[in-house]
Structure 1
Amino acid sequence: MLQIRDLSFRYPSGTVLNSVSFDAAPGEITALIGLNGSGKTTLIKSVLGLLTPSSGTVTADGRLLFSENRTRFRPSFSVSGRERARLLSYVPQRTDGGFSFSAEEFAAMGASAYLGAFSRPDEAVLEHARALLTELGVPHLIGRNLSRMSGGENRMAYLARAILQNARYSLMDEPVASLDLRRQHEFMQRLSGYVRKSNTGVVFSIHDPQLAYEYAGHFLFMKAGHLIGDLRKEKENEGFRNAFTGYLREIYGEGLRTDFFGNRLVLGYTDIIH
Protein backbone atom coordinates (compact mmCIF):
# COMPACT_ATOMS: atom_id res chain seq x y z
CA MET A 1 0.00 0.00 0.00
CA LEU A 2 1.21 3.53 -0.82
CA GLN A 3 0.31 5.61 2.24
CA ILE A 4 0.38 9.41 2.29
CA ARG A 5 -0.15 11.06 5.66
CA ASP A 6 -0.66 14.77 6.44
CA LEU A 7 1.35 15.95 3.44
CA SER A 8 1.60 19.74 3.22
CA PHE A 9 3.53 22.06 0.94
CA ARG A 10 3.97 25.81 1.22
CA TYR A 11 5.44 28.45 -1.04
CA PRO A 12 6.39 31.80 0.49
CA SER A 13 3.19 33.15 -1.06
CA GLY A 14 0.97 30.59 0.65
CA THR A 15 -0.03 26.96 1.20
CA VAL A 16 -0.51 24.78 -1.89
CA LEU A 17 -1.15 21.43 -0.15
CA ASN A 18 -2.96 21.27 3.16
CA SER A 19 -2.51 18.08 5.19
CA VAL A 20 -3.38 15.59 2.43
CA SER A 21 -3.77 11.92 3.39
CA PHE A 22 -4.78 8.90 1.28
CA ASP A 23 -3.92 5.29 0.47
CA ALA A 24 -3.32 3.88 -3.03
CA ALA A 25 -3.39 0.11 -3.44
CA PRO A 26 -1.40 -2.17 -5.77
CA GLY A 27 -3.39 -3.20 -8.82
CA GLU A 28 -5.53 -0.07 -8.59
CA ILE A 29 -5.79 3.03 -10.78
CA THR A 30 -6.26 6.19 -8.71
CA ALA A 31 -7.39 9.39 -10.47
CA LEU A 32 -6.58 12.83 -9.07
CA ILE A 33 -9.35 15.20 -10.18
CA GLY A 34 -9.29 18.98 -9.77
CA LEU A 35 -8.99 22.36 -11.44
CA ASN A 36 -5.72 23.90 -12.56
CA GLY A 37 -3.92 25.15 -9.47
CA SER A 38 -5.72 22.77 -7.12
CA GLY A 39 -2.46 21.08 -6.09
CA LYS A 40 -2.45 17.91 -8.21
CA THR A 41 1.03 18.33 -9.67
CA THR A 42 2.41 19.57 -6.36
CA LEU A 43 0.99 16.49 -4.63
CA ILE A 44 2.56 14.09 -7.14
CA LYS A 45 5.96 15.81 -6.97
CA SER A 46 5.80 15.92 -3.17
CA VAL A 47 5.08 12.19 -2.95
CA LEU A 48 8.07 11.54 -5.21
CA GLY A 49 10.31 13.88 -3.21
CA LEU A 50 10.86 16.18 -6.21
CA LEU A 51 9.47 19.00 -4.07
CA THR A 52 10.20 19.52 -0.39
CA PRO A 53 6.98 19.40 1.65
CA SER A 54 6.72 21.21 4.95
CA SER A 55 5.27 18.18 6.75
CA GLY A 56 3.99 14.65 6.29
CA THR A 57 5.15 11.12 5.51
CA VAL A 58 5.23 8.84 2.46
CA THR A 59 5.30 5.07 3.02
CA ALA A 60 5.30 2.34 0.35
CA ASP A 61 4.71 -1.29 1.30
CA GLY A 62 5.72 -0.52 4.87
CA ARG A 63 8.95 1.25 3.88
CA LEU A 64 9.23 4.86 5.00
CA LEU A 65 10.41 6.73 1.89
CA PHE A 66 10.12 10.33 2.98
CA SER A 67 9.35 11.97 6.30
CA GLU A 68 9.44 15.29 8.10
CA ASN A 69 12.71 15.72 9.97
CA ARG A 70 12.51 18.77 12.21
CA THR A 71 12.24 21.63 9.73
CA ARG A 72 13.36 19.59 6.76
CA PHE A 73 11.55 16.99 4.69
CA ARG A 74 14.09 14.50 3.40
CA PRO A 75 14.47 10.94 2.15
CA SER A 76 14.55 8.25 4.80
CA PHE A 77 18.11 6.99 5.18
CA SER A 78 16.78 3.44 5.60
CA VAL A 79 15.83 3.25 1.90
CA SER A 80 18.40 3.74 -0.86
CA GLY A 81 17.74 5.65 -4.07
CA ARG A 82 17.80 2.37 -5.97
CA GLU A 83 15.20 0.85 -3.63
CA ARG A 84 12.99 3.93 -3.99
CA ALA A 85 13.20 3.57 -7.77
CA ARG A 86 11.86 0.03 -7.40
CA LEU A 87 8.94 1.37 -5.38
CA LEU A 88 8.04 4.60 -7.23
CA SER A 89 8.20 5.55 -10.91
CA TYR A 90 7.23 8.84 -12.56
CA VAL A 91 5.72 9.99 -15.84
CA PRO A 92 5.94 13.81 -15.90
CA GLN A 93 3.41 16.22 -17.34
CA ARG A 94 5.80 17.67 -19.90
CA THR A 95 7.52 14.91 -21.84
CA ASP A 96 8.71 16.84 -24.87
CA GLY A 97 12.29 17.96 -25.06
CA GLY A 98 15.66 17.36 -26.62
CA PHE A 99 16.40 13.79 -25.60
CA SER A 100 18.84 12.30 -28.09
CA PHE A 101 17.74 8.73 -27.41
CA SER A 102 15.77 6.26 -29.45
CA ALA A 103 12.51 5.00 -28.00
CA GLU A 104 14.04 1.68 -26.94
CA GLU A 105 17.11 3.35 -25.40
CA PHE A 106 14.88 5.68 -23.41
CA ALA A 107 12.56 2.87 -22.30
CA ALA A 108 15.53 0.71 -21.29
CA MET A 109 16.59 3.37 -18.79
CA GLY A 110 13.70 2.18 -16.66
CA ALA A 111 15.67 -0.98 -15.89
CA SER A 112 18.54 0.99 -14.33
CA ALA A 113 17.25 0.32 -10.80
CA TYR A 114 18.01 -3.39 -11.35
CA LEU A 115 21.50 -3.00 -12.85
CA GLY A 116 24.86 -2.54 -11.19
CA ALA A 117 25.91 0.89 -9.96
CA PHE A 118 27.93 1.71 -13.09
CA SER A 119 26.15 -0.57 -15.55
CA ARG A 120 24.21 0.49 -18.62
CA PRO A 121 21.33 -1.38 -20.26
CA ASP A 122 22.80 -4.13 -22.43
CA GLU A 123 21.43 -5.62 -25.64
CA ALA A 124 19.16 -8.00 -23.72
CA VAL A 125 17.49 -5.06 -21.97
CA LEU A 126 17.23 -3.15 -25.25
CA GLU A 127 15.61 -6.18 -26.88
CA HIS A 128 13.15 -6.34 -24.00
CA ALA A 129 12.38 -2.66 -24.59
CA ARG A 130 11.77 -3.31 -28.30
CA ALA A 131 9.46 -6.20 -27.48
CA LEU A 132 7.57 -4.01 -25.03
CA LEU A 133 7.12 -1.21 -27.57
CA THR A 134 5.73 -3.80 -29.96
CA GLU A 135 3.40 -5.14 -27.27
CA LEU A 136 2.19 -1.58 -26.61
CA GLY A 137 1.24 -1.24 -30.26
CA VAL A 138 4.00 1.18 -31.27
CA PRO A 139 6.69 -0.93 -33.02
CA HIS A 140 7.20 1.94 -35.47
CA LEU A 141 8.87 3.90 -32.65
CA ILE A 142 11.79 1.47 -32.49
CA GLY A 143 14.88 3.35 -33.62
CA ARG A 144 13.11 6.72 -33.69
CA ASN A 145 14.52 9.63 -31.69
CA LEU A 146 12.27 11.04 -28.96
CA SER A 147 12.63 14.54 -30.39
CA ARG A 148 10.92 13.35 -33.60
CA MET A 149 7.83 11.89 -31.96
CA SER A 150 4.33 13.25 -31.63
CA GLY A 151 2.90 13.89 -28.17
CA GLY A 152 1.06 10.58 -28.13
CA GLU A 153 4.10 8.62 -29.29
CA ASN A 154 6.21 10.35 -26.67
CA ARG A 155 3.76 9.33 -23.93
CA MET A 156 3.95 5.70 -25.05
CA ALA A 157 7.75 5.80 -24.78
CA TYR A 158 7.41 7.13 -21.23
CA LEU A 159 4.88 4.42 -20.42
CA ALA A 160 7.32 1.80 -21.72
CA ARG A 161 10.05 3.22 -19.49
CA ALA A 162 7.74 3.13 -16.45
CA ILE A 163 6.80 -0.49 -17.22
CA LEU A 164 10.46 -1.53 -17.52
CA GLN A 165 11.18 0.22 -14.23
CA ASN A 166 8.63 -2.21 -12.77
CA ALA A 167 8.03 -0.08 -9.68
CA ARG A 168 5.29 -1.06 -7.27
CA TYR A 169 3.61 2.32 -7.76
CA SER A 170 3.68 4.68 -10.72
CA LEU A 171 2.78 8.37 -10.45
CA MET A 172 1.71 10.07 -13.68
CA ASP A 173 1.08 13.79 -14.08
CA GLU A 174 -1.65 14.33 -16.70
CA PRO A 175 -0.43 11.49 -18.94
CA VAL A 176 -3.21 12.04 -21.51
CA ALA A 177 -2.82 15.82 -21.75
CA SER A 178 -2.62 17.06 -25.37
CA LEU A 179 -3.61 13.65 -26.78
CA ASP A 180 -6.54 13.39 -29.18
CA LEU A 181 -9.63 11.41 -28.19
CA ARG A 182 -8.53 8.11 -29.73
CA ARG A 183 -5.02 8.36 -28.27
CA GLN A 184 -6.41 9.15 -24.81
CA HIS A 185 -8.44 5.95 -24.79
CA GLU A 186 -5.59 3.97 -26.33
CA PHE A 187 -3.21 5.14 -23.61
CA MET A 188 -5.70 4.41 -20.84
CA GLN A 189 -6.49 0.95 -22.23
CA ARG A 190 -2.77 0.12 -22.42
CA LEU A 191 -2.31 1.43 -18.89
CA SER A 192 -5.26 -0.61 -17.60
CA GLY A 193 -3.84 -3.75 -19.19
CA TYR A 194 -0.46 -3.09 -17.61
CA VAL A 195 -2.02 -2.62 -14.16
CA ARG A 196 -3.99 -5.87 -14.44
CA LYS A 197 -0.93 -7.80 -15.59
CA SER A 198 1.64 -6.38 -13.16
CA ASN A 199 -0.47 -5.47 -10.11
CA THR A 200 1.22 -2.07 -10.11
CA GLY A 201 -0.62 0.76 -8.39
CA VAL A 202 -1.05 3.89 -10.53
CA VAL A 203 -1.87 7.41 -9.34
CA PHE A 204 -2.49 9.87 -12.17
CA SER A 205 -3.82 13.42 -12.44
CA ILE A 206 -6.39 14.24 -15.09
CA HIS A 207 -8.64 17.08 -16.23
CA ASP A 208 -11.34 14.88 -17.73
CA PRO A 209 -13.62 13.33 -15.08
CA GLN A 210 -15.39 11.32 -17.81
CA LEU A 211 -12.18 9.53 -18.78
CA ALA A 212 -11.25 9.07 -15.13
CA TYR A 213 -14.65 7.54 -14.37
CA GLU A 214 -14.32 5.04 -17.20
CA TYR A 215 -10.86 3.73 -16.34
CA ALA A 216 -10.09 4.40 -12.66
CA GLY A 217 -11.42 2.60 -9.61
CA HIS A 218 -10.28 5.10 -6.97
CA PHE A 219 -10.89 8.85 -7.08
CA LEU A 220 -9.30 11.71 -5.17
CA PHE A 221 -10.98 15.12 -5.50
CA MET A 222 -8.83 18.19 -4.91
CA LYS A 223 -9.82 21.80 -4.42
CA ALA A 224 -7.52 24.68 -3.43
CA GLY A 225 -4.89 22.38 -1.94
CA HIS A 226 -7.37 20.31 0.08
CA LEU A 227 -8.43 16.72 -0.52
CA ILE A 228 -12.22 17.14 -0.38
CA GLY A 229 -13.21 13.62 -1.40
CA ASP A 230 -11.86 10.06 -1.53
CA LEU A 231 -14.06 7.45 -3.26
CA ARG A 232 -13.60 3.88 -4.45
CA LYS A 233 -15.83 2.35 -7.11
CA GLU A 234 -16.52 -0.82 -5.13
CA LYS A 235 -20.21 -0.71 -6.00
CA GLU A 236 -21.29 1.48 -8.90
CA ASN A 237 -24.70 2.22 -7.40
CA GLU A 238 -26.80 5.36 -7.04
CA GLY A 239 -25.14 6.31 -3.77
CA PHE A 240 -21.67 6.16 -5.31
CA ARG A 241 -22.77 8.14 -8.37
CA ASN A 242 -24.41 10.82 -6.25
CA ALA A 243 -21.27 11.18 -4.15
CA PHE A 244 -19.07 11.31 -7.26
CA THR A 245 -21.14 13.99 -9.00
CA GLY A 246 -21.49 15.90 -5.74
CA TYR A 247 -17.72 16.28 -5.48
CA LEU A 248 -17.57 17.28 -9.15
CA ARG A 249 -20.09 20.07 -8.56
CA GLU A 250 -18.10 21.26 -5.57
CA ILE A 251 -15.07 21.53 -7.84
CA TYR A 252 -16.59 22.67 -11.14
CA GLY A 253 -19.66 24.59 -9.97
CA GLU A 254 -23.39 24.05 -9.70
CA GLY A 255 -23.93 24.63 -13.43
CA LEU A 256 -22.39 21.23 -14.13
CA ARG A 257 -24.80 18.78 -15.77
CA THR A 258 -24.20 15.07 -15.22
CA ASP A 259 -25.70 12.00 -16.89
CA PHE A 260 -24.85 8.30 -16.90
CA PHE A 261 -25.11 5.90 -19.82
CA GLY A 262 -24.26 2.43 -18.62
CA ASN A 263 -20.93 2.73 -16.84
CA ARG A 264 -20.04 5.96 -18.63
CA LEU A 265 -20.31 9.49 -17.27
CA VAL A 266 -21.35 12.36 -19.57
CA LEU A 267 -20.80 15.97 -18.49
CA GLY A 268 -22.01 19.33 -19.73
CA TYR A 269 -22.77 22.83 -18.51
CA THR A 270 -25.85 25.01 -18.41
CA ASP A 271 -26.03 28.76 -17.94
CA ILE A 272 -22.31 29.50 -17.63
CA ILE A 273 -22.73 32.86 -19.37
CA HIS A 274 -25.80 34.89 -18.51
Structure 2
Amino acid sequence: MSIRISNLTCGYKGHAVISGFDAVVEQGSVFCLLGPNGVGKTTLFRTMLGLLPAIGGSVEVDGEETLHCSDKHRAKLLSYVPQAHTPPFAFTAADVVVMGASAVGGMFGRPGVSNYDVAQRAMDELGILDLAPRAYTELSGGQRQMVLIARAVAQGSRYLMMDEPCASLDLGNEARVLEAVKNLARKGFGVVMTTHSPAHVAQCEARGVLLMRDGSRVTGGVEELLDPQALSRAYGVDVAVGKAACGQGPDVLQTTLCGPVVR
Protein backbone atom coordinates (compact mmCIF):
# COMPACT_ATOMS: atom_id res chain seq x y z
CA MET A 1 0.00 0.00 0.00
CA SER A 2 1.75 3.15 -1.16
CA ILE A 3 1.86 6.30 -3.23
CA ARG A 4 3.96 5.52 -6.29
CA ILE A 5 5.24 8.47 -8.33
CA SER A 6 6.72 7.52 -11.70
CA ASN A 7 8.63 9.77 -14.11
CA LEU A 8 6.59 12.79 -13.00
CA THR A 9 7.27 16.03 -14.86
CA CYS A 10 5.54 19.17 -13.65
CA GLY A 11 5.61 22.90 -14.23
CA TYR A 12 3.64 25.74 -15.72
CA LYS A 13 2.34 26.24 -19.28
CA GLY A 14 4.49 23.39 -20.57
CA HIS A 15 7.67 24.71 -18.92
CA ALA A 16 9.09 21.94 -16.73
CA VAL A 17 10.20 22.87 -13.22
CA ILE A 18 10.81 19.25 -12.19
CA SER A 19 11.38 16.41 -14.65
CA GLY A 20 11.39 12.63 -14.32
CA PHE A 21 10.70 12.43 -10.59
CA ASP A 22 10.26 8.96 -9.02
CA ALA A 23 9.38 8.15 -5.42
CA VAL A 24 7.46 5.68 -3.28
CA VAL A 25 5.69 6.67 -0.05
CA GLU A 26 4.58 3.71 2.05
CA GLN A 27 1.73 3.72 4.52
CA GLY A 28 3.08 4.19 8.01
CA SER A 29 5.91 6.47 6.91
CA VAL A 30 6.75 10.15 6.41
CA PHE A 31 8.35 11.40 3.18
CA CYS A 32 9.72 14.95 3.23
CA LEU A 33 10.21 17.34 0.31
CA LEU A 34 13.09 19.40 1.71
CA GLY A 35 14.81 22.46 0.33
CA PRO A 36 15.02 26.25 0.29
CA ASN A 37 12.23 28.47 -0.97
CA GLY A 38 11.64 28.63 -4.71
CA VAL A 39 13.06 25.27 -5.79
CA GLY A 40 9.79 23.66 -6.87
CA LYS A 41 8.54 21.90 -3.74
CA THR A 42 5.10 23.49 -3.96
CA THR A 43 4.88 22.89 -7.72
CA LEU A 44 5.55 19.19 -7.21
CA PHE A 45 3.13 19.10 -4.31
CA ARG A 46 0.30 20.82 -6.20
CA THR A 47 0.79 18.51 -9.16
CA MET A 48 0.53 15.43 -6.97
CA LEU A 49 -2.73 16.83 -5.56
CA GLY A 50 -4.15 17.45 -9.03
CA LEU A 51 -4.19 21.23 -8.51
CA LEU A 52 -1.79 21.64 -11.44
CA PRO A 53 -1.88 19.49 -14.60
CA ALA A 54 1.12 17.18 -14.92
CA ILE A 55 3.27 17.55 -18.03
CA GLY A 56 4.09 13.85 -17.90
CA GLY A 57 4.32 10.79 -15.70
CA SER A 58 1.90 9.29 -13.20
CA VAL A 59 0.91 9.25 -9.53
CA GLU A 60 -0.75 6.10 -8.21
CA VAL A 61 -2.29 5.68 -4.78
CA ASP A 62 -2.71 2.04 -3.79
CA GLY A 63 -2.64 1.18 -7.49
CA GLU A 64 -5.15 3.84 -8.59
CA GLU A 65 -3.98 6.60 -10.95
CA THR A 66 -4.89 9.99 -9.46
CA LEU A 67 -3.73 12.67 -11.89
CA HIS A 68 -6.75 12.29 -14.15
CA CYS A 69 -9.47 11.08 -11.79
CA SER A 70 -12.31 13.25 -10.46
CA ASP A 71 -11.73 15.58 -7.50
CA LYS A 72 -14.29 13.61 -5.49
CA HIS A 73 -12.49 10.33 -6.05
CA ARG A 74 -9.08 11.88 -5.39
CA ALA A 75 -10.43 13.15 -2.05
CA LYS A 76 -10.96 9.52 -1.04
CA LEU A 77 -7.30 8.78 -1.73
CA LEU A 78 -5.42 11.92 -0.65
CA SER A 79 -6.10 14.48 2.09
CA TYR A 80 -4.58 17.97 2.04
CA VAL A 81 -3.30 20.10 4.92
CA PRO A 82 -2.50 23.65 3.69
CA GLN A 83 -0.04 26.06 5.27
CA ALA A 84 -2.84 28.26 6.54
CA HIS A 85 -6.59 28.57 6.19
CA THR A 86 -8.97 31.33 7.24
CA PRO A 87 -12.64 30.60 6.52
CA PRO A 88 -14.94 33.51 5.60
CA PHE A 89 -17.20 32.76 8.57
CA ALA A 90 -16.50 32.06 12.24
CA PHE A 91 -17.08 28.32 12.06
CA THR A 92 -16.41 26.27 15.16
CA ALA A 93 -13.36 24.02 15.09
CA ALA A 94 -15.72 21.02 14.93
CA ASP A 95 -17.42 22.48 11.84
CA VAL A 96 -14.05 22.85 10.10
CA VAL A 97 -13.20 19.21 10.81
CA VAL A 98 -16.64 18.11 9.62
CA MET A 99 -15.80 19.68 6.24
CA GLY A 100 -13.22 16.93 5.89
CA ALA A 101 -15.60 14.20 7.02
CA SER A 102 -18.12 15.28 4.36
CA ALA A 103 -15.58 16.07 1.60
CA VAL A 104 -16.50 13.05 -0.52
CA GLY A 105 -20.23 13.83 -0.45
CA GLY A 106 -22.17 15.85 -2.98
CA MET A 107 -21.56 19.57 -3.44
CA PHE A 108 -24.89 20.51 -1.85
CA GLY A 109 -25.07 17.67 0.65
CA ARG A 110 -25.40 18.53 4.32
CA PRO A 111 -23.25 16.77 6.91
CA GLY A 112 -25.09 14.24 9.01
CA VAL A 113 -24.67 12.76 12.46
CA SER A 114 -22.17 10.22 11.13
CA ASN A 115 -19.97 13.03 9.76
CA TYR A 116 -19.90 14.71 13.17
CA ASP A 117 -19.04 11.39 14.79
CA VAL A 118 -16.10 10.97 12.41
CA ALA A 119 -14.96 14.54 13.10
CA GLN A 120 -15.16 13.97 16.86
CA ARG A 121 -13.06 10.81 16.62
CA ALA A 122 -10.44 12.61 14.52
CA MET A 123 -10.16 15.47 17.02
CA ASP A 124 -10.03 13.04 19.92
CA GLU A 125 -7.28 11.05 18.17
CA LEU A 126 -5.19 14.22 17.93
CA GLY A 127 -5.94 15.32 21.49
CA ILE A 128 -7.83 18.49 20.54
CA LEU A 129 -11.42 17.54 21.33
CA ASP A 130 -11.55 20.43 23.81
CA LEU A 131 -11.26 22.84 20.85
CA ALA A 132 -14.44 21.53 19.17
CA PRO A 133 -16.87 24.27 20.35
CA ARG A 134 -14.43 27.15 19.95
CA ALA A 135 -14.48 29.59 17.05
CA TYR A 136 -11.80 28.58 14.58
CA THR A 137 -10.93 32.21 13.85
CA GLU A 138 -10.09 32.76 17.53
CA LEU A 139 -7.65 29.87 17.81
CA SER A 140 -3.87 30.26 17.86
CA GLY A 141 -1.83 29.36 14.79
CA GLY A 142 -0.78 26.03 16.28
CA GLN A 143 -4.33 25.16 17.29
CA ARG A 144 -5.60 25.98 13.80
CA GLN A 145 -2.95 23.75 12.26
CA MET A 146 -3.97 20.85 14.48
CA VAL A 147 -7.61 21.40 13.45
CA LEU A 148 -6.58 21.28 9.79
CA ILE A 149 -4.74 18.01 10.40
CA ALA A 150 -7.86 16.64 12.12
CA ARG A 151 -9.90 17.73 9.09
CA ALA A 152 -7.55 15.76 6.82
CA VAL A 153 -7.76 12.70 9.06
CA ALA A 154 -11.57 12.92 9.10
CA GLN A 155 -11.58 12.84 5.31
CA GLY A 156 -10.86 9.13 5.49
CA SER A 157 -7.78 8.87 3.28
CA ARG A 158 -4.76 6.93 4.50
CA TYR A 159 -2.40 9.47 2.90
CA LEU A 160 -1.94 13.06 4.08
CA MET A 161 -0.31 15.80 2.00
CA MET A 162 1.03 18.56 4.28
CA ASP A 163 2.35 21.79 2.83
CA GLU A 164 4.77 23.44 5.29
CA PRO A 165 2.63 22.47 8.31
CA CYS A 166 4.94 24.36 10.69
CA ALA A 167 5.09 27.61 8.74
CA SER A 168 4.89 30.66 11.04
CA LEU A 169 4.51 28.55 14.19
CA ASP A 170 6.41 29.19 17.41
CA LEU A 171 8.75 26.56 18.81
CA GLY A 172 6.18 24.92 21.08
CA ASN A 173 3.45 24.64 18.45
CA GLU A 174 6.00 23.45 15.89
CA ALA A 175 6.96 20.60 18.22
CA ARG A 176 3.29 19.68 18.79
CA VAL A 177 2.54 19.56 15.06
CA LEU A 178 5.63 17.46 14.27
CA GLU A 179 4.77 15.07 17.10
CA ALA A 180 1.28 14.71 15.59
CA VAL A 181 2.81 13.95 12.18
CA LYS A 182 5.08 11.30 13.70
CA ASN A 183 2.21 9.69 15.62
CA LEU A 184 -0.05 9.58 12.55
CA ALA A 185 2.65 7.69 10.65
CA ARG A 186 2.95 5.26 13.56
CA LYS A 187 -0.81 4.66 13.28
CA GLY A 188 -0.45 3.69 9.63
CA PHE A 189 -0.92 6.93 7.69
CA GLY A 190 1.39 7.81 4.84
CA VAL A 191 2.50 11.45 5.05
CA VAL A 192 4.10 13.62 2.36
CA MET A 193 5.33 16.86 3.90
CA THR A 194 7.09 19.88 2.45
CA THR A 195 9.50 21.77 4.68
CA HIS A 196 12.49 24.10 4.41
CA SER A 197 13.89 23.00 7.79
CA PRO A 198 16.22 19.97 7.95
CA ALA A 199 15.42 19.59 11.66
CA HIS A 200 11.79 18.84 10.84
CA VAL A 201 12.85 15.80 8.82
CA ALA A 202 14.47 14.20 11.85
CA GLN A 203 11.84 15.31 14.35
CA CYS A 204 8.99 13.63 12.46
CA GLU A 205 11.15 10.52 11.86
CA ALA A 206 10.89 10.67 8.08
CA ARG A 207 12.01 7.54 6.27
CA GLY A 208 12.56 9.20 2.90
CA VAL A 209 13.72 12.65 1.82
CA LEU A 210 13.80 14.55 -1.45
CA LEU A 211 16.46 17.27 -1.11
CA MET A 212 15.99 19.96 -3.75
CA ARG A 213 18.12 22.85 -4.96
CA ASP A 214 17.89 25.00 -8.11
CA GLY A 215 16.21 22.37 -10.26
CA SER A 216 18.44 19.52 -9.06
CA ARG A 217 17.30 16.93 -6.56
CA VAL A 218 18.56 13.97 -4.59
CA THR A 219 16.42 11.32 -2.91
CA GLY A 220 17.56 9.08 -0.11
CA GLY A 221 17.40 8.29 3.56
CA VAL A 222 17.59 10.75 6.43
CA GLU A 223 21.16 9.91 7.50
CA GLU A 224 22.39 10.27 3.92
CA LEU A 225 20.73 13.60 3.12
CA LEU A 226 20.97 15.33 6.49
CA ASP A 227 24.67 15.53 5.89
CA PRO A 228 26.54 18.84 6.35
CA GLN A 229 27.93 18.85 2.81
CA ALA A 230 24.59 17.96 1.19
CA LEU A 231 22.76 20.64 3.20
CA SER A 232 25.45 23.24 2.54
CA ARG A 233 25.12 22.67 -1.21
CA ALA A 234 21.33 22.84 -1.03
CA TYR A 235 21.05 25.98 1.08
CA GLY A 236 24.15 27.83 -0.07
CA VAL A 237 25.59 28.32 3.43
CA ASP A 238 28.08 26.39 5.53
CA VAL A 239 26.07 24.12 7.83
CA ALA A 240 27.00 21.98 10.82
CA VAL A 241 24.73 19.12 11.92
CA GLY A 242 24.56 17.78 15.45
CA LYS A 243 22.20 16.39 18.04
CA ALA A 244 21.13 18.02 21.27
CA ALA A 245 19.98 15.99 24.27
CA CYS A 246 16.41 16.85 25.25
CA GLY A 247 15.64 15.73 28.81
CA GLN A 248 14.43 12.13 28.92
CA GLY A 249 13.24 12.25 25.30
CA PRO A 250 15.12 11.47 22.09
CA ASP A 251 17.97 13.63 20.83
CA VAL A 252 16.89 16.51 18.61
CA LEU A 253 18.69 17.30 15.35
CA GLN A 254 20.14 20.80 15.17
CA THR A 255 21.56 22.59 12.16
CA THR A 256 23.84 25.57 12.70
CA LEU A 257 25.21 28.17 10.32
CA CYS A 258 28.94 28.06 10.92
CA GLY A 259 30.64 29.89 8.09
CA PRO A 260 30.37 32.03 4.99
CA VAL A 261 27.97 31.56 2.13
CA VAL A 262 28.93 28.58 -0.04
CA ARG A 263 29.56 29.54 -3.66
TM range (shorter): 0.7 to 0.9
State the match for 1:72 in structure 2. none
Q: How does 1:175-190 map to 2 (within 5 A)?
A: 175-190=165-180
Structure 1 residues 141-177: Cα deviation after superposition (integer angstroms, max 9, x where no partner): 2122322222111111111111111212111100111
* CA RMSD across the alignment: 2.5
Cα deviation code 1:226-261 (max 9, x no counterpart): 3x221235xxxxxx3577433212202351122235
Partner of residue 20, structure 2: 19
TM-score, normalising length from structure 2?
0.86
- Which structure 1 segments of 5+ residues have no match? 67-74, 234-239
Asked if the contact 1:31/1:205 (under 8 Å) is kept, the reply is yes
Three-state SS of the structure 2 residue aligned to 1:94 is coil
Provide the aligned length of Structure 1 versus Structure 2: 255
Which residue identity does 1:121 align to in structure 2? P
- Superimposed CA distance per residue, residues 198-237 of structure 1 (whole angstroms, 9 cap, x where no aligned partner): x1110001121112112122211111233x221235xxxx
Give 5+ residue unaligned stretches, structure 2: 246-250
Query: Is the contact made by 2:9 and 2:18 (CA closer than 8 Å) also made in structure 1?
Result: yes
1:107 alignment partner AA: V
Task: State percent identity of aligned pairs.
Answer: 33
TM-score (norm 1): 0.83
Q: Look up the match of 1:56.
A: 57
The CA deviation at 1:114 is: 5.5
Asked if the contact 2:101–2:118 (Cα under 8 Å) also holds between the matched residues in 1, the reply is no
Instruction: Give the aligned partner of residue 271 of structure 1.
Output: 259
Residue 168 to residue 10, structure 1, CA distance change in 2 (3 Å): same
CA distance in 1, matches of 2:232, 2:27: 29
Q: Distance in 2 between matches of 1:96 and 1:58?
A: 29
Question: Which residue pairs with 2:102 in the alignment?
Answer: 112
Q: Distance in 2 between matches of 1:173 and 1:230?
A: 18
Letter of the aligned partner of 2:59 in structure 1? V
Return 202-211 or 7-16, whichever deviates more.
Answer: 7-16
Contact 2:73–2:104 at 8 Å: present in 1 too? no
CA contact (8 A) 2:198 2:226 kept: no
Tell which deviates more after alignment, 246-255 or 124-133: 124-133
Q: Tell me the amino acid that sits aligned with residue 201 of structure 1.
A: G
- Find the aligned partners of 1:137 and 1:248 in 2 and give their Cα distance: 34
Contact 1:98 1:147 in 2 (8 A): no
Farther-moved stretch of structure 1 (113-122 vs 261-270): 113-122
- The one of 216, 225, 228 aligned to 1:245: 228
1:243 and 1:155 map into 2 onto residues whose CA distance is: 26
